[in-house]
């Protein structure tokens, strides 16, 4: 996975710097022994330090480009990268992958009535709720604005519905200063579907859920025929 390079970039570039210094030492061995040792030490320290700093800078840039500033969750860019990975993994392990799209009901009215600062606080608290109910292998992301998307690997449609109902119920009873509810659209696939097609099905389910609000609707991507209302 491409993200592995960014994750280990500091160590990789530090090793490259060390190898470079070792090569310089091989050349410097033709110099007097005292001079070559000093040269090797100086180059080793400078190249290793430079590689480490460059690697850390790359890692920070990668994290920022894949993160939502407000909530700290991963963003849509990361979502698609992770979904591509899960689609490839699905082909190997033959276990279902589910997607949950979450929309905050009437979020515009929260911003209009209480202000954007209060709206941001709601989004942050919701993100914390979703993270608390997600497993370590799940991926919770900001889909855009007041929408979130969750990847649930190794999870069938029933498991995804259970997850969605838990977070819907928790949001409904959470101690917000005013009423906040969410709508959730779910889809599940047991084959390596086209990602855009899969997201279109999830979006269709979310649209159906938003018709009544504070609701969960699921559509199985592999069948695209069954609606299950909770």
Phi-psi label, residue 152: left if phi above 0, alpha if psi -120 to 50, beta otherwise: beta
Alpha-carbon distance of 216 to 230, in angstroms, equals: 6
CA-closest candidate to residue 153, choices 137, 141, 129, 164: 137
Of 103, 146, 193, 203, which one is the catalytic site residue? 146
Clarify whether 154 is annotated catalytic.
no
Residue 17's contacts (CB-CB under 8 Å, 6 or more residues apart) are 47, 48, 49, 50, 51, 52
Write the DSSP assignment of 45-109 as a string of letters.
HHHHHHHHHHHHHHHHHHHHHTB-TTT--B-HHHHHHHHHHHHHHHHHH---EEEEEEEETTHHH
Please give the positions annotated as active site: 146
């Amino acid at each position: 996975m491409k993200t592995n390079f960014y994750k280990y970039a500091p160590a990789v570039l530090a090793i490259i710097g060390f190898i470079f210094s070792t090569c310089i030492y091989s050349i410097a061995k033709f110099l007097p022994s005292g001079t070559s040792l000093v040269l090797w030490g100086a180059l080793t320290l400078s190249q290793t330090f430079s590689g480490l700093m460059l690697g850390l800078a790359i890692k920070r840039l990668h994290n920022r480009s894949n993160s939502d500033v407000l909530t700290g969750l991963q963003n849509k860019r990361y979502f698609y990268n992770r979904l591509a990975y899960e689609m490839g993994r699905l082909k190997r392990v033959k276990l279902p992958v589910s997607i949950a799209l979450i929309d905050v009901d009437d979020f515009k009215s929260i911003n209009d009535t209480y202000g954007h600062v209060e709206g941001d606080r709601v989004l942050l608290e919701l993100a914390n709720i979703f993270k608390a109910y997600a497993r370590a292998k799940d991926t919770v992301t900001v889909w855009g604005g007041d929408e979130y998307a969750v990847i649930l690997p190794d999870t069938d449609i029933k498991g995804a519905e259970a997850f969605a109902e838990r977070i819907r119920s928790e949001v409904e009873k959470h101690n917000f200063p005013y009423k906040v509810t969410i709508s959730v659209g779910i889809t599940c696939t047991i084959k390596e579907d086209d990602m855009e097609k899969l997201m279109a099905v999830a979006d269709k389910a979310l649209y159906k859920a938003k018709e009544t609000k504070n609701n969960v609707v699921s559509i199985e991507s592999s069948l695209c025929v069954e609606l299950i209302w909770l």
